[in-house]
Amino acid sequence: RKEVEQDPGPFNVPEGATVAFNCTYSNSASQSFFWYRQDCRKEPKLLMSVYSSGNEDGRFTAQLNRASQYISLLIRDSKLSDSATYLCVVTRSGGSYIPTFGRGTSLIVHP
């Protein structure tokens, strides 16, 4: 089983839709969680960190469920510019804070 698993999609949604992605991780001792966004042929960029209490940044909401070992990302009122690959990142415990990336979920927002 991979350390971080994501549905690769693509998720094809119309503008204005709400879409949610999940990501599961296998190491129960994982410490930190993030969502990154990667546009085609570009480098990944941090979208948001994920906290146990859940956090929101505008149209984006991230949640962590430690008991079930998954994190989620909810995007409300999707824009065409949200089309990208969303990478789930889990940081290994043990002091080195080595991030493990999922393969990413592709989102396509169409008019």
Partner 1 sequence: GAGVSQTPSNKVTEKGKYVELRCDPISGHTALYWYRQSLGQGPEFLIYFQGTGAADDSGLPNDRFFAVRPEGSVSTLKIQRTERGDSAVYLCASRSQGRETDTQYFGPGTRLTVL
**Interacting residue ranges for partner 1, rule: CB under 8 A:** 4, 8, 31-32, 42-46, 49, 87, 91, 96-104
Q: Which string of DSSP letters, residue by residue, matches 36-63?
A: EEE-TTS--EEEEEE-TT-EEETTEEEE
Give the dihedral sign, CA 40/46/52/58.
negative
Residue 19 vs 23, nearer CB to partner 1: 23
CB of 109 to partner 1, least distance (A): 20
93, two tokens: 């415990």
The minimum distance between CB 4 and partner 1, in angstroms, equals 8
Residue 20 CB, nearest distance to partner 1 (Å)? 19
- Compute the distance between CA of residue 40 and CA of residue 59 in angstroms, rounded to an integer: 22
Measured from the CB atom, is 22 or 91 closer to partner 1?
91
Nearer to partner 1, 76 or 103 (CB): 103
Structure-token pair, residue 62: 């991230």
